[in-house]
Structure 1
Amino acid sequence: MSVGKRIKERRKELKLSVDEIAKRLGKNRATVYRYEGDEIEDVPVSVIKEIAKVLKTDPGYLMGWKNSKEDLTSENSYYYLPTTISAGVPLEVNGLTENDIEQITLPDSVMGKWAGNKDVFFTKINGESMNKIMPDQSFIAVKKVGLNDLKNGDIVVFSDSHEYGVKRFYLFDNRVVFRPESTDPRITDYQVTDLENLNIYGKVVLFIVEN
């Protein structure tokens, strides 16, 4: 099997689009198609390493030197907001400056399809209103998206007049409902009708429970 076919096969295994690969490599989609079609001879080793990192595989596999596809040693760094976001009612969060933002490093095997995604940041939640899905004090990975990119049922990090929360998102006409997933029946929906002060910071794509 050629290098290009291995790249294409691995991309499809990870269910990644050509556009996603191009974005992560900092190249255009036509170049990625040329890689997959073996139209570029003598692809530099440095490029092979970058492609392998995006595809969470070993460069030796893409070159045909190894049979194992997985590279369990690869890892990436992500921005981490060292604060907790309430999973209950929105909770006031002190303003963070650029100096407050930290970085954490996680194995790609933990991050899965989100490994290396520069639009993903981490923070932490507290409270019990999402405890059917995410326990109190879970670390959450949040992918930056806008209001128009959300679907009903997505779990989002939002703020309403500078107060922050984590809930399931539902849009009904000009009213947004943030719905809990809790074992506590006393925890109810949080509704927003004044959308001017509503900010969506992203949707939760995975969570990690701290032992």
Structure 2
Amino acid sequence: MATIEECVKELIDERYGSVPRLAAAIDLPAQTIYSALRNGLKGSSMSTVMPIVEALDIDPGQLVRGNLVMLSGKKIGSVKVPMFGSIAAGLPAEPDVADNMLPIPIELHDKYPDAFLLRVQGESMNNILPNGCFALVDPCVTVDYSNQPYALSIGMGNAMVKRVRVLDNGFELKPDSSDPTFRSTILDFADPTLEPVTIIGRVVWYCLPAQWDFYAQ
């Protein structure tokens, strides 16, 4: 997890473009701000910290408690979560073995503490999940929200992401794509040839990789 000081530096860059620009706006030496970010805001003088938090709309009471919260109540920062390679958004495919960690907003982590990221491949969900994006999956074993996007596996490790409509005795796997050639698939639990269906989790958010190219996906 990023430190409070790292998050404040990101907020400074976002709001003011640089520490020197913030320093000029609040009439503090830039070196004083750099020192506070390096040595810790909680240990810095009030005459240094208060102009910074006021300029950035940070709640000073929460800062004293070690939390970075905006006066609006919004938490600032990120938490790294596991990224389990790829999952198909087209034909079922074996998910890659995961060994990476990627950041998500801390507010999302608070809401979905066990969630993990999967990279989506394919165009069958491109209306809501672009090919190549990272889908945040909240683990679950049942479909509690019919017609929502879920990651699921069929058989031994085959995985995909689709909107899942709950039927009386099965699921309808529905694409959500700009390509009309993608069609729904019915999983009939009464079909003796149907391999075991395992719900991996519900897709609750997605983000794009840093190297995203709108024309090459």
Identify which of 102, 105, 124 aligns with 1:104. Answer: 102
Q: Could you tell me how far 1:76 is from its partner in structure 2?
A: 1.1
The SS at the match of 1:92 is: coil
Contact 1:76 1:116 in 2 (8 A): no
**Structure 2 counterparts to residues 27-176 of structure 1, below 5 A:** 60-62=60-62, 68=71, 69-72=73-76, 74-81=77-84, 83-93=85-95, 96=97, 100-108=98-106, 112-115=107-110, 117-147=112-142, 149-161=143-155, 162-176=157-171
CA RMSD of aligned residues (A): 3.0
Q: Could you tell me how far 1:123 is from its partner in structure 2?
A: 1.1
Q: 1:102 corresponds to which letter in structure 2?
A: N
Which residue of 2 is the match for residue 209 of structure 1? 208
CA distance in 2, matches of 1:130, 1:103: 24
Gap runs ≥5 in structure 2: 1-56, 213-217
CA distance in 1, matches of 2:207, 2:63: 34
Q: 1:91 to 1:196 in 2, by over 3 A?
A: closer
Q: 1:208 corresponds to which letter in structure 2?
A: C
Which residue of 2 is the match for residue 15 of structure 1? none
The SS at the match of 1:61 is: helix
The SS at the match of 2:128 is: coil
Contact 1:123 1:140 in 2 (8 A): yes
Contact 2:134 2:207 in 1 (8 A): yes
TM superposition score normalised by structure 1: 0.60
Aligned residues: 146
CA distance in 1, matches of 2:59, 2:81: 23
Structure of greater relative contact order (alpha carbons < 8 Å, 6+ residues apart): 1
Matched residues, percent identical? 23
Q: Could you tell me how far 1:133 is from its partner in structure 2?
A: 1.1
The SS at the match of 1:200 is: strand
Contact 1:153 1:170 in 2 (8 A): yes
| Structure with larger Rg | 2
TM superposition score normalised by structure 2: 0.58
